Structure 1
Amino acid sequence: MLLLENRLCGQGEYVNVSKRVSYVSTVKFPRINTAVLRGEENCKEKGGNPPTCFYRLGQKNPVIRVIIHLPCTEPTKISGTHVSFSLHFSSAMDDHSITKTRKTIPPFKNWPKVAPQIICASSASWAMLCTGLVRGWSSSAVPQLTSANNETLHLELVEAAWITSLPPLCAIFGSLMIAFPMEMYGRRMTLATISIPYVLGFYLMGLSYYVDWAPLLFIGRIITGLITGASAPTSQIYVSECSSPRVRGALGSFTSTFMSFGILIAYIIGAVVKWQVMCFVIGSLPIVLGLSMLLMPETPSWLVAHHQEPQAKDALQQLRGKYTNVETEFQRIKTNASAQLPNSSYAKILTNKYLIKPLLISMALMFFQQFSGINAIVFYSASVFQDAGSSLDSFISSIIIGIVQMVFTMISVLLVDRFGRRALLMISGTFMAISLSGLGAFVYVKKAWEELSVLDESTVQEQTLLAELGWLPLLCLMSFIISYSVGFGAVPQLVMGELFPLEYRHRLGTISASFSLGCTFLVVRTFPLMASSMGLAGVYGLYAACCLIAVVFVAIFLPETKGKTLEEISKFFGQPTPKSVAAGIQSKSEKKPLAVAKIVCATSASWAMLCTGLVRGWSSSAIPQLTTTKNDTLHLEQEEAAWISMNILSLQTLLTKKLLRNSCNLLFTASLPPLCAIFGSLMIAFPMELFGRRLTLATISIPYILGFYLMGLSYYVNWTPLLFIGRVITGVLTGASAPTSQIYVSECASPRIRGTLGSFTATFLSLGILIAYIIGAFVEWQILCFVIGSMPICLGLAMIFMPETPSWLVAHHQEPQAKVALQQLRGKYTDIEPEFERIKINDSSQATNTRYIKILTSSHLMKPLLISMALMFFQQFSGINAIIFYSASIFQEAGSTIDRFLSSIMIGVVQLIFTGISALLVDRFGRRALLMISGTFMAASLSGLGAFVYAKKTWEDLSTLDESTVQEQTLLAELGWLPLLCLMSFIISYSAGFGAVPQLVMGELFPLEYRHRLSTISTSFNVLCTFFVVRTFPLMASSMGLAGVYGLYAACCLIAVVFVAIFLPETKGKTLEEISKFFSQATPKCTEAEEPCSRIEPEKELLPL
């Protein structure tokens, strides 16, 4: 039979394919997308009636291209804007499929079809704007009601507290009460009706001023509070049921955007008029909700569930557009409605395990949304502005917060259908936790210093520093508001409208909304109590912990609903054993388990890069001890110390201590150790190909141990050449480790997680540097040699038990061993036949001559080599060594008294953390995205640092200090935090992208037969660039100035972004064989109907835009 998988929803034509008959068709399409018809290879004689398959062609480009890939077809003919094709099936076919794979289309690309849905979503979301008006009213009205100057309807503080907290409490009951009318009378009529109580409530509140009767004000707040609880589930369910899967995320975020807009409107109006006038002004806005909803259609799902199928079809046609065929979607809605259980009582809900899971997920998101601290941090916003030295009025600060929240909530509308619900929530939770931690730390330090009764000199200095850090709470506040608005401010309500089955949606939605409001009330009431007992710092720390727990919860339990129909989501939770949550809605059989063997192999091989990190970090701790005048045993002169130096931090130590009169000679000799790594990377190609990747990695652990032990032994025999010999040995091994470990990991990893495992090497490199920093801060250098010299033993022992890479075994005609190794890597119960056959085919297509002269004259090899070398060039010329060189001075500019060793450890910790984070992101967002984002933020950070250095040097060079210059220098002193911020931003950006991805890409781009040689060339070039950067940095700094050098490196970062965007193919999710085949094509051209050349797609996915 013929199977159809199609998610196109645009206007188009149908192609009718019928079996066992000759079918000839000539169709003219004015605007169509490409049709791709593909089938399997078997044609078998089958009985029965021939089924018919309809394949829809969506409209996008006026380019015609029909590919018919069936074994029993005649050739396809294409002419102009007419598509002519003939199919003749000599026998019936079985299990043929027609599939269409396409890129994600922006949510609002097809305007005629999306416009009705946008209008409906905006109308329904007006109910949430009214909710925002209720919430924002108290911020402007309560200060006026409690003011001593207010003589009419004056409220005491206790009464004002109840006025503020009544709406969340009443909303709990409102959300539970709305379930019955929403199911009985429909979503549309319910939304139209609730506008009346909104108007009534606001008008009663305004009228209370003129009759001077406080109970009327309370009655109005209770009514509006009840309706706010009814608005959330009703509007969210209406929007979700009216939206198509492609735009449901964006339209579902309208509710949060409109609520932020309502709060902002209340802030603005309340800042210019009195509270009673504001009641009548904002009380008129709900009229728009009632009038607009009368013109909107009812949701098709509700109409079908209530046996109104003709009206449901008309409503669906109105929502999807006049010329859209809605038959398929309508049948799916009918099928889903017929599958629902008739009994939807609360007792059934709470005892049905398939309903409890989505309910608990939704309630957990609501809990984390409220306990993220949004109300607490907004409560403290006025104080935060004061700490930052701002003279803004509290009303103006509230308006600023409202604008920021609304803008970034609107931005989330554009992001939620592009990156998914899970990604936004996890990123939002992470940055919220960081912001709250920073704010809590500031509050804690500020309170501690304020409580000191005796102010000695150090305390005065500390308080001065604290005053200069007034920008920190403001930065944390804005960062928190932005992070909350993009993720947890909008997505939980959106998910609430998606997770629940149709029959239970009205009841489950109200339960979840009620729970959210209960949490809101709990947070508002408990915040002052916790603040008095734990302190504000403790409260913010608690909320930060909740944010981190929320990230873990989302990663484990929340399924990705992006692009899924509501029926698919309902079916997912209706299955007995839905396990694969982490990567989306899939069944267990559709997703291969993450084999532990692959992680163990990647960790073992990456230990070689940890050893490289130990070599690099050793000099930072050892050089100061070796060159100190107090060192009597094996004392090194300055030039000798420069010879063994590997890390630029050591050069910084020597320069700042002025141990050499000629810094250029120092840097020349200090640049020599990387040259040893160049020879090491070139020498390792032969053993890596002859003896295998595994045995090579196991063997290089021996020279590592020998080198470190010789260095330590030199102290006891007091013989300097022994120290040099050890450094040369370890230096050579650092060059050999990088290509070997990266190739081993890439060839062992499956395409789905190759990016994550490939980033292990960079993570372990950062870990090794950090280990050397930490150990070196506590022990003498010779002890350090023996301690870190024992760590490579783990590499040798681990690699003995690891399998060889299947690609190398197949290339060396050891197919039985290759199959065993592949089975061990993929898991005991995984079917490896397809992958094994692909490895064999790829190996048989490789050339036999691998001389360097052949490599340098082969066009299909030069392209990946040049791409890899360019990435290595940009990695080094991003300025990583230059900015680390200046790190100690940056800490001093920020007013820090941190020791140089401690600052190095801090940089190492930051680099390790974010290199580890990049390992989690690289297979989710791709190599290209990480590199482009990384390069952009690196350029911004370097530009900021360069501007600060330029301004500082310019003002220092002024010989006459007039009043304006003094003011400028004072301002510059207060901006001491800027270079520290730029430093950390640069380190984070580098670690997340250019610190790890170039080495990962190096292990992916090269064909198997040439991989060992090409990787060594690329690694050698990388080390050579390191040598060049270290050598030229002081020369450029003396001629151009530090500002000029940072500007040049920033320009290199921007050029890197352009290079990646144009030339680097996306290798995420591709097999190494597919990548090799892409570069093996003699003339890969791109036409206007095809994907750009910068994108790699397997043959079955090479579709036009």
Structure 2
Amino acid sequence: MMQLGLIKSEKMSEGSAIYQYLATVTGCLGVISGAMHFGWPSPSLPHLLRPDSHIPVTSEDGSWLASMPCIGAVSGSIMTAYLVDKIGRKNCMLMTAPGYLLAWLMVAFASTIWELYVARFIAGWGDGLVFTAFPMYLGEIASYEIRGLLGSSMQLTMIAGMLVINIIGSYLNIMSTALVCSVVPPVFFVMFWFMPDSPYYLIMKGRLEDARKNLQLLRQTQDVTSELERMIEAVKLEREETGKLTDLFTIASNRRATIIVFGLRAIQQFGGTTVITFYAKSIFHEASGDISSTTATIIYFSLQLFCALISSFLVDKLGRKPLLIASIIGSGLALSLEGTYFYLSVNTSLDVSKLKVVPVVALLGYVIIFNLGMGVIPVLFLGEMFPTSVKAFALCLADIWFGIIVTVVSKFFQTMQDSFGIAVPFFAFAACCAIGLVFILVLVPETKGKTLEDIQIELKRKKEQEIIKDTYKEYREGA
């Protein structure tokens, strides 16, 4: 026994990220539950829209079913903003398991459209908790060397969950699919229960010894004194700020972080990614030619998952900004090609029967390039850009903002497709990519290799640099 204790002590002194990975993987089981709910319309809407569906559903109903989790997320985000600094990031995550389980059971046994609406709303409530609490948790437990990798895991897991629901939903009916998926929330609850809470949260609650123990566990070393002192000092300085919602807009560094995060999330969604995910099976049905829509959809999500995985490893090596720039340019070109094909096939007399492979290739090309940067990094920034004092408010508003944007874009896609054809939304998404490129070039900073404290210093320093430049400009003009 004494020998085992010595071995453990030696391992702890060497340091390891194994517990950071373990906490991330188990937490991502909660994200998978939300992702499967989020991607549920892709395999299920075609069944519900059929004349023989057990629940009569119109195209308008389908668009509301697709976007209902984004509406429900508002309530979850607001609740989490209030609770996350009171009961902790970990406990907020654990609260999602009963909600996701209830939502799946309601989907399985629903007999009316309104029961599906309620189930989707509850799932959205869980998403609000997850996407407010988990980015905070990951950003606060991760060493700066692997924060990009761990922070990218959220989007990676979202894609994995949507791939799983498309595979299951393609081969099982709606009830069986929901019952299979209902296994995940209880498994997540049991496994994540044993993970350590954020050291930052424990410091905020005055539990310094617990924070030390959790940090030792997460870093797998006894020597955490300097990092703990840095965290204590950072929390102390940030708590000197008032910690109010208005601080997001009245403090210059917070305002800049808000513009960057909200802007990137808007660009991400106006680039078409979530809407294309919602309607992936329908798009492939219209575009895939000889490829079955089910096969093409599984290929779509598998490729998306692979590219997001590659991005999660590249983000700490190449940096955030280069990947964002390459991603937004390539995405705009692929969307333009997609829109051009659909425009020529519907609005002209040109024979495009020999070009049926073009929309599939363009869409898969979009998946590759989008998920190398724009698909992953905006979510990563959620856990990086805000100080502890306002992080709960910021992520709450960011999740509400995301829900609003997705709902607007989803309704836009459905309305434009029904009224003017599928080409119009693709051209609109391509134009938004061009606007996004300018935004990234001008406003988005590089956070690779920086601690959370370093990022805050840079955000504050940017404002100081602007003041110095303005003062120098005034001096030159006066001279």
TM-score (norm 1): 0.40
Kindly indicate whether residue 239 of structure 2 is the aligned counterpart of residue 336 of structure 1.
no
**1:398-547 residue pairs with structure 2 within 5 A?**
398-450=297-349, 462-463=350-351, 466-532=352-418, 535-547=421-433
Please say if residues 65 and 120 of structure 2, whose CA atoms lie closer than 8 Å, have aligned partners that are also in contact.
yes
**Alignment counterpart, residue 118 of structure 1, candidates 5, 11, 21:** 21
Q: Are the structure 2 counterparts of residues 214 and 414 from structure 1 closer, same or farther at C-alpha, using a change threshold of 3 Å?
A: same
Give the 5 Å matches for 1:60-71. Answer: none
2:45 aligns with one of 130, 137, 142: 142
Structure 1 residues 550, 275: CA separation in 2 closer, same or farther (over 3 Å shift)? same
The separation in 2 between residues aligned to 1:173 and 1:512, in whole angstroms, is 13
Residues 247 and 390, structure 2, Cα contact 8 Å, conserved in 1: no
| Partner of residue 327, structure 1 | 225
C-alpha contact 1:376 1:527 (8 A) present in aligned 2: yes
Unmatched tracts of structure 1, length 5 or more? 1-29, 31-57, 60-111, 451-461, 581-586, 590-827, 829-1105
For the 8 Å contact 2:253–2:456, the answer to whether it is kept is no
1:124, 1:239 within 8 Å by CA — same for their partners in 2? no
- Tell me the distance in 2 between the aligned counterparts of 1:574 and 1:303: 26
What's the counterpart of residue 194 of structure 2? 295
1:492 maps to amino acid: P
Is the counterpart of residue 310 in structure 1 residue 206 in structure 2? Answer: no
Partner of 1:390: 290
CA distance in structure 2 between the partners assigned to 1:278 and 1:384 by the alignment: 22
- Structure 1 residues 381 and 487: CA distance shift in structure 2, 3 A: farther
**Do the aligned partners of 2:63 and 2:410 also contact (CA within 8 Å) in 1?**
no
Q: Residue 251 in 1 paired to residue 251 in 2?
A: no
User: Distance between the aligned counterparts of 2:62 and 2:417, measured in 1?
Assistant: 20
Match 2:257 to one of 358, 378, 395:
358
Any gaps of 5 or more consecutive residues in structure 2? 1-9, 470-475
Distance 1:533 1:308 in 2: 59
- Pairwise CA distance, 1:299: 0.6
Where do residues 532-571 of structure 1 align in structure 2 (5 Å cutoff)?
Answer: 532=418, 535-571=421-457
Q: Distance in 1 between matches of 2:38 and 2:165?
A: 8
2: CA distance, partners of 1:382 / 1:226: 27
Counterpart for residue 6 of structure 2 = none
Question: Closer, same or farther in 2 for the Cα pair 1:154/1:533, shift >3 Å?
Answer: closer
8 Å Cα contact 1:359/1:508 also seen in 2: yes
Structure 1 residue 326: Cα displacement: 1.4
Between 557-566 and 136-145, report the one with greater CA deviation.
136-145
Aligned counterpart in structure 2 of residue 163 of structure 1, from 53, 65, 74: 65
**Structure 1 residues 383 and 360: alpha-carbon distance in aligned structure 2, compared to 1, 3 A threshold:** closer
- How far off is 1:328 after superposition? 1.4
> What RMSD in Å do the two structures reach over aligned CA positions?
2.5
In structure 1, distance between residues paired with 2:288 and 2:60 = 31
Whole-Å separation in 2 of the counterparts to 1:506 and 1:146: 39
CA shift at 1:446, angstroms?
A: 2.0
Find the aligned partners of 1:445 and 1:207 in 2 and give their Cα distance: 44
Query: Cα distance, 1:476 vs. partner?
Result: 0.9
| Alignment check: 8 A CA contact 2:73 2:403 kept | yes
Deviations 1:520-560 (A, max 9, x none): 01100111223355543332222112112212211211111
Contact 1:578 1:588 in 2 (8 A): yes
Query: What CA distance in whole angstroms lies between the structure 2 residues aligned with 1:156 and 1:362?
Result: 35
The answer to whether 1:218 aligns with 2:121 is: no
Match of 1:194 among 93, 96, 109: 96
| Change in CA separation of 1:157 and 1:469 when aligned onto 2, cut-off 3 Å | closer
Q: Contact 1:233–1:497 at 8 Å: present in 2 too?
A: no
Secondary structure of the structure 1 residue equivalent to 2:95: helix
Are 2:36 and 1:133 equivalent residues in the alignment? yes
Cα offset for 1:331? 1.1
Q: Do the aligned residues in 2 keep the contact of 1:384 with 1:477 (CA within 8 Å)?
A: no
Aligned residue type for 2:344: V
Aligned to 2:181: 282
For 1:349 and 1:442, locate their aligned partners in 2 and report how far apart those are by CA, in whole Å. Answer: 44
1:262 is matched by which residue type in structure 2?
A: G
Pairwise mapping of residues 789-808 of structure 1 onto structure 2 (< 5 A)? none
For 1:229 and 1:129, the matched residues in 2 are separated by 14
Q: CA offset at residue 436 of structure 1?
A: 0.9
SS in 2 for 1:472: helix
Cα deviation, 1:192-242, whole Å, max 9, x if unaligned, reads 12111111121122232xxx4554333222111111122112111111111
2:118 & 2:343 partners in 1: Cα distance? Answer: 41
Contact 1:192 1:291 in 2 (8 A): no
In structure 2, what is the Cα distance between the partners aligned to 1:543 and 1:159? Answer: 24
Cα gap change, 1:159 to 1:544, in 2 (>3 Å): closer
Structure 1 residue 574: deviation in Å? Answer: 3.1
Pairwise CA distance, 1:346 = 1.6
Per the TM alignment, residue 158 of structure 1 is displaced from its structure 2 partner at its CA by 3.9
Distance in 1 (alpha carbons) for counterparts of 2:345 and 2:114? 42
| C-alpha separation in 2, matches of 1:373 and 1:221 | 21
What is the rounded CA distance, in whole Å, between the counterparts of 1:515 and 1:349 in structure 2?
Answer: 14
- In structure 1, how many angstroms separate the alpha carbons of the residues matched to 2:445 and 2:417? 35
Superimposed CA distance per residue, residues 759-816 of structure 1 (whole angstroms, 9 cap, x where no aligned partner): xxxxxxxxxxxxxxxxxxxxxxxxxxxxxxxxxxxxxxxxxxxxxxxxxxxxxxxxxx
Fraction of identical pairs, as percent: 25
Counterparts in 2 of 1:543 and 1:251: CA distance versus 1, 3 Å:
same
Work out the CA distance in 1 between the residues paired with 2:287 and 2:36.
Answer: 29
Q: Tell me the residue number matched to 1:1036.
A: none
Is this contact kept in 2: 1:381–1:477, CA < 8 A? no
Distance in 2 of aligned mates of 1:474 and 1:291: 41
d(CA) in 2 for partners of 1:447, 1:309: 65
Matches of 2:306 and 2:428 in 1, distance apart?
Answer: 28
Residue 178 of structure 1 corresponds to: 80
SS for the counterpart of 2:422 is: helix
Instruction: Please give the secondary structure, in 2, of the residue aligned with 1:419.
Output: coil
Q: Is the 8 A contact 1:439 1:540 kept in 2?
A: yes
- Out of 568, 572, 575, the position equivalent to 2:458 is 572
Deviation at 1:381, TM superposition (A): 5.8
Residues 713-747 of structure 1 show CA distances to partners (whole Å, capped at 9, x for unaligned) of xxxxxxxxxxxxxxxxxxxxxxxxxxxxxxxxxxx
In structure 1, C-alpha distance between the alignment counterparts of 2:117 and 2:344, rounded to whole Å = 41
Q: Identify the residue that residue 747 of structure 1 maps to in structure 2.
A: none
Q: How does 1:662-1061 map to 2 (within 5 A)?
A: none
Q: Could you tell me how far 1:284 is from its partner in structure 2?
A: 1.7
8 Å Cα contact 1:420-1:560 kept in structure 2: yes
What CA distance in whole angstroms lies between the structure 1 residues aligned with 2:284 and 2:47?
22
3-state secondary structure, aligned to 2:448: coil
Contact 1:382 1:397 in 2 (8 A): no
- Secondary structure of the residue that 1:346 maps to in structure 2? coil
Find the aligned partners of 2:153 and 2:226 in 1 and give their Cα distance.
27
SS at structure 2 position matched to 1:250 = helix
Separation (CA, whole Å) in 2 of partners of 1:331 and 1:276: 52
TM-score (norm 2): 0.89
